[in-house]
Amino acid sequence: MAYRNLAAFLEALEERGELTRVREPVSPRLEIAEIADRAVKGGGPALLFERVEGSAMPVAINVFASRRRMLEALEIASWDEWDARLEFFLDPSPPEGLLGKLKAIPKITELAAVFPKTVRAAACQEVVETGDAVDLGRLPVLTCWPQDAGPFITMPLVITNDPATGKTNVGMYRMQIHGRNATGMHWQKHKDGAGQARGYEREGRRMEVAAAIGCDPATVFSAIAPLPPGLSEFLFAGFLRGEAVPLAPAKTVDLLVPAEAEIVLEGYVEPRERRREGPFGDHTGFYSLEDDFPVFHVTAVTRRESPIYLTTIVGRPPMEDGFMGEAVERLFLPLVKKTIPEIVDMHLPVHGIFHNLMIVAIDKRYPGHARKTMHAIWGTGQMMFTKTILVVDAGVDVRGGPELLWRALTAIDPERDVEIVHGPVDELDFASRLACYGSKVGIDATRKWKEEGFLRPWPDEIVMSPDVKRKIDRLWPALGIKLSAR
C-alpha cells in the first residue's frame, strides 16, 4: 500500500524508530541546518522539529537521508526486486498467442492503475489564502548556511505545463524567498522547467506555476528523477507507488496539483523578468555564486489545516540528496542498460556529487568500445554533465574503492587512454572557465587489445594455486597466527 501523504510516511518512520521529534525550540536560521547536518553525517534518524521559532508549522528534514529510509520511501525491498519490476515494463516483446495475451493483462491493468487521477476534494486546499493574505513569511523556510542570501525553499515540486503540448513537468528547483509573495525560480537552463519557460518567453506569455511542498515520498522523489522531457513525473510517481497520484485543480491557476500535499504555492513567472538569486551553500560543498534567475509571483497559498513543512539542506557531502542520488543511480540502471547495452554496472560515488564522477563497467566487444560508451553517456539526458567517466571491464567492481583504484590505475597509459571533450557542463560547476560550457574527461581503464594497437602481452593477475590454498586453509588454525582488521 502506497503512503497516502507525508504524514503517513512520517508515522511509518516513527513506528520503526527512524524518526525523532525535536521539542526543543530552534531557529530556522542556521540552527536546524546544523542539527540536520550532524544527524545525516552521523547516520541519524529523520527529524521532525515541532517548535520552530517564528512559525506555527513543524519542519520535517532528513526523511530520505539513509539507504534504508530511501528504500522505504520508494517501498522497494531491494534493488534486485526493482530491476525485475522495471524489466516487466520495459520488455518490448508483444504478447504471443492466447496465453501470452492473458499474461499481459495484469501488466496493462497495473499500468492503467498508475495514471494520475483527478479528485475534487483536496486536503492541500483546506485553507486557501489569496491576495494580501499571502505571506510566505509564515512558512518556516530555512536559511541553511551563513553566507546564504536568505531563506530558500529547497524541496518544492515545481509544476508547470508545456506551452506547446500542454504536458506537465515536475522538477525540484530551489526557491529563494524574495518577499511576502515572491521567490526566485532556480531552474537551471538545461532542465525541463527552464525549457518550458523559454517557450512561454518566445510567445511573450506569462507562465503559470504551482509549487507543492511535502507530499508522499515517491511523489517528492519523482521531481528529481531525470526523466526525458514530456514524460510525466506524476505518472512515474504512480508507477513507483503502484497507485495513482491523486491530483486536484489548483485554485487560481490552470494546473493540477497533488491533492495530498501539505502546502501548495500558486502563481506565475513573467517572461524575461529576472532577479538576483544566491549565493547559496550548494550540494557541491561550496557556495554557488549569485546570478539572475526568474521570479515566481505567488498569488495563492493553499494548505492543510496543520501542515508539515518538508525541507532538506545541501552542502558538503554526504548529505540527504546523496542518498536520493544513489536511488536515482540504482532506479535508472536498467534503463541505462537498455540504451547503452554494453554497460553492466554503473556507480556515482557520493563525493562526486552526481556529475563529477561516473564509473562504468562494460562488456567490451570491439576496439574503441570504451570510448563509444563515454560518448553515449555524454549524449544521454542529464548524464551529459558527467565531468569524469572511468570505464572498466565487466567483472571489476565499480563500487570497489581501493581495489577499483588499483585495477583502473594499473590499466591506463594516460596519453593513450584519456579522452577529453568539450560541451555543456553542470550549471553548478564553478571550475569551468565559462558557466555551463567546459570540458569533460573519459578514462579508458579497460584492458587494451592488439586491435587497439597494444602489442605487448597483458600480464596475468597474481593468484595463488588452489591446491596450495586448500592445504593452507586446513593448516591455518594450527598455525596460531592471529589476524586483526587493519
Taking CB under 5 A as the criterion, the residue among 62, 125, 169, 288 binding Mn ion is 169
The reply to whether 321 sits near ligand FMN by the rule CB under 6 A is yes
Catalytic residue among 282, 321, 345, 444: 282
The reply to whether 191 sits near ligand FMN by the rule CB under 6 A is yes
Residue 23 CB, nearest distance to ligand FMN (Å)?
A: 26
Taking CB under 6 A as the criterion, the residue among 312, 373, 386, 446 binding ligand FMN is 312
Site for ligand FMN in 376-405 (CB under 6 A): 382
Q: Select the binding partner of residue 353 from Mn ion, ligand FMN, none (C-beta < 5 to 8 A, by kind).
A: none
The reply to whether 33 sits near ligand FMN by the rule CB under 6 A is no
Q: Select the binding partner of residue 224 from ligand FMN, Mn ion, none (C-beta < 5 to 8 A, by kind).
A: ligand FMN
Instruction: Tell me the window of 14-22, 29-37, 223-231, 286-294 that interacts with Mn ion (CB under 5 A).
Output: 223-231
The reply to whether 277 sits near ligand FMN by the rule CB under 6 A is no
Residue 197 CB, nearest distance to ligand FMN (Å)?
A: 11
Over the window 226 to 245, marking each residue x when it contacts Mn ion by CB under 5 A and - when it does not, the resulting string is: -x------------------
Closer residue to ligand FMN (CB): 57 or 158: 158
Over the window 132 to 161, marking each residue x when it contacts ligand FMN by CB under 6 A and - when it does not, the resulting string is: ----------------------xx------
The reply to whether 192 sits near ligand FMN by the rule CB under 6 A is yes
The reply to whether 220 sits near ligand FMN by the rule CB under 6 A is no
The reply to whether 293 sits near ligand FMN by the rule CB under 6 A is no
Q: Does the active-site annotation cover 417?
A: no
Spell out the SS3 assignment of the chain.
CCCCCHHHHHHHHHHCCCEEEECCCECCECHHHHHHHHHHHCCCCEEEECCECCCCCCEEECCCCCHHHHHHHHCCCCHHHHHHHHHHHHCCCCCCHHHHHHHHHHHHHHHHCCCCEECCCCHHHCEEEEHHHCCHHHCCCCECCCCCCCCEECCEEEEEECCCCCCEEEECCCEEEEECCEEECCCCCCCHHHHHHHHHHHHCCCEEEEEEECCCHHHHHHCCCCCCCCCCHHHHHHHHHCCCCEEEECCCCCCEEECCCCEEEEEEECCCCCEEECCEECCCCCEECCEEECEEEEEEEEECCCCCEECCCCCCCCCHHHHHHHHHHHHHHHHHHHHCCCEEEEECCHHHCCCCCEEEEECCCCCCHHHHHHHHHHCCHHHHHCCEEEEEECCCCCCCCHHHHHHHHHHCCHHHHEEEEEEECCCCCCCCCECCEEEEEEEECCCCCHHHCCCCCCCCCCCCCHHHHHHHHHHHHHHCCCCCCC
The reply to whether 172 sits near ligand FMN by the rule CB under 6 A is yes
Taking CB under 6 A as the criterion, the residue among 187, 239, 296, 378 binding ligand FMN is 187
Residue 173 CB, nearest distance to Mn ion (Å)?
A: 11
Residue 113 CB, nearest distance to Mn ion (Å)?
A: 22
The reply to whether 417 sits near ligand FMN by the rule CB under 6 A is no
Instruction: Tell me the window of 33-41, 96-104, 220-228, 235-243 that interacts with ligand FMN (CB under 6 A).
Output: 220-228
Taking CB under 5 A as the criterion, the residue among 18, 37, 192, 208 binding Mn ion is 192
Instruction: Tell me the window of 114-122, 171-179, 244-252, 473-481 that interacts with ligand FMN (CB under 6 A).
Output: 171-179
Cβ-based neighbours of 213, under 8 Å, separated by 6 or more: 139, 153, 155, 156, 157, 261, 262, 263, 264, 265, 309, 310
Could you give the residue numbers annotated as active site? Answer: 282
Binding site for Mn ion (CB under 5 A): 169, 192, 227
Binding site for ligand FMN (CB under 6 A): 154-155, 169, 171-174, 186-188, 191-193, 223-226, 312, 314, 321, 324, 382
